[in-house]
């Protein structure tokens, strides 16, 4: 039984692939052979949550690009993601709240308003998520959706590790 | 109480205020919130703001902003 929305989406996707496999025959095998990862599903789910979000990318805290979806016209997304994470690290180092331990991950929210749109960046625990929207959006609502997806992703990872532990026993 | 500029002056003030607000909202800006604390606007002149604005423009697909033309240095005028 799926625990999170992302797991439910994955099962739905796998189910449709199996149907395609049965209906099309050998041609459907390629679809079933490449199931989307939880990261891909999470980014796609964010785009489904809000029509204002044009594109999104998911990174780890080291700047490695985990997934991306939607319209992101940047030529080298991995490099842009790396620079985004570096900029966020710089800001969180400078503005570290009192009492925060060195090395502890600080939650960070950045919203950048430009003439052609807006960019939002959210960092929590080990993940960072960025998305690009129109200018006329409510930042609080976009961050709310991003928080929901990141939380869902963490829950999915926890459920996955629990399942693996049970499988090894 | 009667306005010094009359009714037209009042309209002009309102239009000017609306234009000012519109310009303020449309100005590119970077806002940061750390550890669920208060959000703060970054100063436009800091390198972090410039870096984040450039990255946002790359992701949005917007051409990079042109720097405002600098005024040529004025020649010192003789006091006498």
**Among residues 23-62 of chain A, which lie with CB inside 8 Å of chain B?**
55
Angle at Cα B65 formed by Cα B64 and Cα B70, nearest 5°? 135
Question: What residues have CB less than 8 Å from A134, skipping those under 6 apart?
Answer: A52, A54, A117, A118
Highest mean pLDDT among A7-11, A69-73, A109-113: A109-113
pLDDT, tens digit, 9 for 90 and up, residues A118-146: 999 999 888 999 999 998 899 999 999 99
Q: What are phi and psi of A167, to 5 degrees?
A: -70, -35
Q: How confident is the model at residue A163 (pLDDT cuts 50, 70, 90)?
A: confident
Rounded to 10 degrees, what is the CA torsion of A86, A126, A128, A9? 160
CA A47 to CA A36: how far, in whole Å?
A: 15
pLDDT, tens digit, 9 for 90 and up, residues B14-27: 899 888 877 766 78
pLDDT, tens digit, 9 for 90 and up, residues B42-67: 998 899 999 999 999 999 988 777 65
Q: What is the CA radius of gyration of chain B?
A: 21
ipTM above 0.90, yes or no: no
Chain A closest CA to B43's CA: distance in Å?
Answer: 12
Instruction: Copy the structure tokens of residue A142.
Output: 């976009």
Which pLDDT does position A31 carry in this prediction? 37
Tell me whether residues B58 and A74 touch, CB distance under 8 A.
Answer: yes
Bridge partner list, B32: A110, B40
Using alpha carbons, select from A94, A95, A91, A96 the residue that is nearest to residue A112: A91
Rounded to 10 degrees, what is the CA torsion of A140, A145, A146, A148? 120
Chain A closest CA to B4's CA: distance in Å?
Answer: 38
- Please answer whether residues A109 and A88 qualify as being in contact, where contact means their C-beta atoms are separated by less than 8 angstroms: no
Q: How confident is the model at residue A28 (pLDDT cuts 50, 70, 90)?
A: very low
Bridge partner list, A119: A112, A132
Which pLDDT does position A38 carry in this prediction? 87
Q: What are phi and psi of A123, to 5 degrees?
A: -120, 125
Residues of B in contact with A69 (CB under 8 A): none
Asked if the C-beta of A111 comes within 8 angstroms of chain B's C-beta atoms, the answer is yes
pLDDT of A17 > 60? The answer is: no
CA-nearest residue of chain A to B46? A91
Using alpha carbons, select from A75, A65, A15, A72 the residue that is nearest to residue A40: A65
- Please answer whether residues B30 and B53 qualify as being in contact, where contact means their C-beta atoms are separated by less than 8 angstroms: yes
pLDDT, tens digit, 9 for 90 and up, residues A40-97: 999 999 999 999 999 999 999 899 999 999 988 878 899 999 999 999 988 887 655 5
Asked if the C-beta of A79 comes within 8 angstroms of chain B's C-beta atoms, the answer is no
CA-nearest residue of chain A to B23? A115
Asked if the C-beta of B57 comes within 8 angstroms of chain A's C-beta atoms, the answer is yes
Chain A closest CA to B24's CA: distance in Å?
Answer: 12
CA A135 to CA B65: how far, in whole Å?
A: 17
Residues of A in contact with B24 (CB under 8 A): none
Tell me whether residues A107 and B61 touch, CB distance under 8 A.
Answer: no
Q: What are phi and psi of A56, to 5 degrees?
A: -150, 155
């Amino acid at each position: 039984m799926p625990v999170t929305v992302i797991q439910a989406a994955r099962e739905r996707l796998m189910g449709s692939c199996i149907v395609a496999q049965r209906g099309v025959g050998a041609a459907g095998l390629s679809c079933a052979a490449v199931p989307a990862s939880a990261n891909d599903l999470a980014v796609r789910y964010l785009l489904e949550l809000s029509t204002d979000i044009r594109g999104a990318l998911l990174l780890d805290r080291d700047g490695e690009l985990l997934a991306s979806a939607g319209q992101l016209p940047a030529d080298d997304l991995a490099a842009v993601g790396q620079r985004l994470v570096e900029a966020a690290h710089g800001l969180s180092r400078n503005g570290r709240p009192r009492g925060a331990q060195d090395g502890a991950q600080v939650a960070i929210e950045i919203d950048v308003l430009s003439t052609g749109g807006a960019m939002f960046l959210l960092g929590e625990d080990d993940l960072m998520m960025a998305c690009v929207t129109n200018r006329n959006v409510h930042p609080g609502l976009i961050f709310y959706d991003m928080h929901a997806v990141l939380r869902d992703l963490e829950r999915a990872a926890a459920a996955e590790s629990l399942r693996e532990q049970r499988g090894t026993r | 109480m009667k306005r010094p500029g009359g009714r037209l002056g009042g309209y002009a003030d309102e239009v000017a205020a609306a234009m000012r607000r519109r310009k303020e909202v449309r100005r590119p800006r970077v806002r940061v919130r750390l550890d669920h604390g208060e959000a703060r606007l970054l100063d436009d002149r800091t390198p972090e703001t410039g870096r984040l604005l450039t990255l946002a423009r790359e992701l949005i697909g917007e051409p990079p902003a042109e720097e405002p033309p600098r005024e040529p240095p004025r020649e010192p005028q003789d006091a006498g």
